Amino acid sequence: MSHVNRYMRMFGAGAINVVGLAIVTTALPVFLCTSNTYMEFVLNAAATIFIVQLDDHTHDTTIVIKHQKMIPLTAGSQTDEYKEQHKQQANRKMMQLFEVEDEF
């Protein structure tokens, strides 16, 4: 990373942290005053805190997104055996979602 790139990143990070904080702290009271209910007020305040804290995560933070491989299907390409396997697999996953462990 070059020195110019490093200084540009430092300037950008500092600018967004200072200017962004000024914008949020100035606009937050006006934004919260437009809430119609107490629940909406709390929701807007919590959302604002969440958005502001997104920038505070360090580079050590790891976010893991689990995904499942999806098989593209075309019309008429499914056999009865495949449909049955898929149905059983979906049923197993559904049972896992609703599985409750008794810890009494």
pTM given for the model: 0.42
Nearest of 65, 54, 55 to residue 16 by alpha carbon: 55
- CA-CA distance, 64 to 35, in Å (whole number)? 34
Query: First vs last Cα of the chain: how many Å apart?
Result: 57
pLDDT digits (tens, 9 = 90+) for 40-93: 999 988 888 888 777 666 666 666 666 666 666 555 556 677 777 778 887 777
Written as one letter, the residue type at 47 is A
Using an 8 Å Cβ cutoff, are 41 and 32 in contact? Answer: yes
